[in-house]
């Protein structure tokens, strides 16, 4: 029995986690309606040519090399793969089972240097479930508040960009953003007051600035005691040097304004995450060139800090000129981002901006736009062929490619469906691996 179980495990693993249906070095998608996310705009009856994992040609009249694998789109829409700008892929499998959750920690010793990159599980069952519906990249971010266990720091750690295409070399941009918590959550982390949260952040950045200017003195023990350790200070120095942004989870308009003042004081790059009331201060965000990561479906005042929640948040931010990226806030269902984007369009957001918020905008926010987020020459081939309008709830991905490798449209969910769709035949009482 154990031999049979091990064999089935191997078969399922090969189906779910091993891309590569097509075998040629060159793949051509022809007859497509392509949303390029570039100045080319949307192309009709166009071709995308992929070679060695990269896009080498886009447009009409492209010569297709002999021996290339051909995929006829028949007019269907092709977009870049979707990018979840704030996820926990690979670090929280079952949210209520602590042993499967690595997304947070309560040890105060490490805050700004706490990184998830080395513990991301690329074999998470959440990955194939979402990638067969078009999600190909994600920012894996540390968070606070799981199990209501909190540390005493609003600095929660470093996040990394990953691709969802394989179990090898899946980290695209390691430690590319530092995440902090402001507002109500930040206050809970630091003793109960938002003022204490900002004081702690300001002290930490001041320490890092002094440390950067006096490293030799620090090494020789000639500097005052810092709040943070060397690893945390090194991480914050990279923030001060502009090597990575701070992503602040914050919702209330006045808290967003406080974050803008702090960013201006220290000359750091700021990204707002959450932003339920971002529309109220949209002009200030636009003037400061600060992007916002948001869930377009957020329209209920779940807390006092989000009383201004509205489905028109995205449209109002667009009107002010604020760059946006979308996130579901729930990696179990990142695939629902496209539906949320469709709801934003129904509430005034332009269609093109909605697609950009799912693709090129998060790539630009996290510095990977040179290789991802557009259907353009030189970009890695993360491509999706959709059955219809990708922002319609009834549309599904017909074909997914990540880094030039086609993805089997199989997940644990589809395997369960196939197993139980015919209830007339004899079946075991429960699914077993």
Strand order in the sheet with 171-181: 82-87, 135-140, 155-163, 171-181, 246-250, 270-274, 292-294, 324-326
Asked whether residue 10 carries a pLDDT value surpassing 70, the answer given is no
- Least reliable range by pLDDT among 10-14, 243-247, 369-373: 10-14
Look up the CATH number of domain 82-370. 3.20.20.140
**Tokens describing residue 429:** 């009482």
pLDDT tens per residue across span 336-372: 999 999 999 999 999 999 999 999 999 999 999 999 9
Stretch 1-6: mean pLDDT, rounded? 40
pLDDT at 4 (0 to 100): 36
Contact 22, 69 (CB under 8 A): yes
pLDDT tens per residue across span 247-292: 999 999 999 999 999 999 999 999 999 999 999 999 999 999 999 9
Stretch 4-26: mean pLDDT, rounded? 47
The whole-chain average pLDDT of the chain stands at 90
Asked whether residue 83 carries a pLDDT value surpassing 70, the answer given is yes
Q: How confident is the model at residue 62 (pLDDT cuts 50, 70, 90)?
A: very high
pTM for the structure as a whole? 0.90
pLDDT tens per residue across span 176-203: 999 999 999 999 888 889 999 999 999 9
Stretch 406-431: mean pLDDT, rounded? 80
Stretch 146-158: mean pLDDT, rounded? 75
Orientation angle between helical segments 351-358 and 313-320, nearest 10 degrees: 100
Query: Which one is predicted more confidently, 105 or 29?
Result: 29
pLDDT at 11 (0 to 100): 37
Question: Cα–Cα distance between 295 and 14 in angstroms, integer?
Answer: 34
**Tokens describing residue 118:** 């080395």
Asked whether residue 23 carries a pLDDT value surpassing 60, the answer given is no
**Tokens describing residue 9:** 């495990």
Query: Which one is predicted more confidently, 13 or 238?
Result: 238
Domain boundaries, the chain: 82-370
- Kindly state the percentage of the chain with pLDDT values over 70: 91
Stretch 157-162: mean pLDDT, rounded? 97
pLDDT at 9 (0 to 100): 39
- Least reliable range by pLDDT among 20-29, 176-185, 219-228, 390-399: 20-29
Q: How confident is the model at residue 80 (pLDDT cuts 50, 70, 90)?
A: very high
- Secondary structure (H, E, C), the chain: CHHHHHHHHHHHHHHHHCCCCCCCCEEEEEEEEEECCCCCCEEEEEEEEEECCEEEEEECCCCCCCCCEEEECCCCEEEECEEEEEECCCCECCCCCHHHECCCCCCCCCCCCCECHHHCCCCCCHHHHHHCCCEEEEEECCCCCHHHCCCCCCEEEEEEEEECCCCCCCEEEEEEEEEEECHHHHHHHCCCCHHHHHHHHHHHHHHHHHHHHCHHHHHCCCCCCCCCCHHHHHHHHHHHCCCCCEEEEECCHHHHHHHHHHHHHHCCCEEEEECCCHHHHHHHHHHCCCCEEECCCCCCCCCHHHCCCCCCHHHHHHHHCCCEEECCCCHHHHHHHHHHHHHHHHCCCCHHHHHHHHCHHHHHHCCCCCCCCCCCCCCECCEEEECCCCCCCCCCEEEEEECCEECCCCCHHHHHHHHHCCCCCCCCCCCCC
Stretch 60-68: mean pLDDT, rounded? 93
Torsions phi, psi for 178 (to 5 deg)? -105, 130
Burial class (CB in 10 A: 0-12, 13-18, 19+), 245: buried
Question: Cα–Cα distance between 339 and 293 in angstroms, integer?
Answer: 16
**Tokens describing residue 236:** 């914050």
- Least reliable range by pLDDT among 33-47, 142-156, 238-252: 142-156
Query: Which one is predicted more confidently, 171 or 225?
Result: 171
pLDDT at 338 (0 to 100): 96
Stretch 3-29: mean pLDDT, rounded? 53
pLDDT at 21 (0 to 100): 52
Asked whether residue 150 carries a pLDDT value surpassing 70, the answer given is no
Contacting residues for 219 by C-beta, under 8 A, at least 6 apart: none
Query: Which one is predicted more confidently, 2 or 426?
Result: 426
């Amino acid at each position: 029995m154990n031999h049979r179980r091990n064999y089935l495990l191997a078969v399922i693993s090969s189906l779910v986690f091993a891309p590569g249906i097509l075998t040629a070095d060159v793949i051509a998608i022809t007859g497509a309606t392509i949303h390029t996310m570039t100045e080319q705009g949307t192309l009709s009856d166009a071709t995308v040519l992929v070679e060695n994992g990269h896009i080498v040609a886009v447009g009409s009249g492209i010569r297709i090399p002999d021996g290339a694998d051909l995929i006829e789109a028949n007019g269907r829409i092709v977009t870049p793969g979707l990018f979840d700008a704030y996820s926990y892929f690979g670090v929280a499998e079952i949210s209520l089972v602590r042993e499967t959750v690595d997304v947070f920690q309560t040890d105060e010793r490490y805050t700004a240097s706490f990184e998830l990159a080395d513990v991301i599980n690329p074999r998470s069952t959440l990955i194939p479930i979402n990638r067969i519906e078009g999600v190909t990249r994600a920012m894996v971010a540390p968070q606070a508040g799981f199990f209501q266990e909190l540390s005493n720091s609003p600095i929660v750690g470093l996040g990394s960009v990953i691709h969802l295409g394989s179990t090898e070399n899946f980290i695209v941009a390691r430690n590319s953003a530092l995440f902090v918590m402001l507002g109500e959550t930040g206050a809970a982390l630091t003793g109960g007051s938002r003022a204490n949260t900002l004081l702690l952040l300001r002290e930490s950045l001041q320490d890092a600035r002094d440390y950067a200017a006096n490293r030799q003195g620090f090494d020789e023990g000639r500097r005052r005691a810092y709040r943070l350790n060397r690893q945390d200070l090194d991480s914050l120095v990279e923030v001060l040097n502009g090597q990575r942004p701070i992503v602040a989870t914050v919702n209330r308009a006045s808290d967003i304004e406080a974050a803008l003042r702090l960013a201006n004081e220290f000359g750091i790059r700021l990204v707002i995450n959450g932003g339920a009331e971002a529309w109220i201060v949209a002009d200030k965000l636009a003037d400061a060139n600060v992007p916002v990561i948001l869930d377009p479906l957020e329209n209920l005042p779940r807390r006092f800090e989000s009383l201004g929640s509205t489905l028109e948040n995205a449209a109002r931010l667009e009107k002010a000129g604020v760059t946006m990226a979308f996130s579901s806030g729930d990696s179990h269902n990142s695939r629902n981002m496209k539906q949320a984007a469709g709801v934003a369009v129904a509430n005034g957001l332009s269609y093109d901006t909605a697609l950009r918020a799912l693709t090129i905008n998060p790539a630009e926010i996290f510095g990977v736009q040179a290789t991802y987020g557009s259907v353009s020459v030189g970009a890695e081939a993360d491509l999706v062929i959709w059955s219809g309008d990708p922002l319609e709830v009834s549309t599904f991905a017909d074909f997914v490619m990540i880094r030039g490798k086609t993805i089997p449209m199989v997940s644990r969910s589809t395997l369960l469906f196939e197993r139980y769709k015919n209830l007339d035949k004899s079946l075991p009482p429960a699914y077993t691996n």
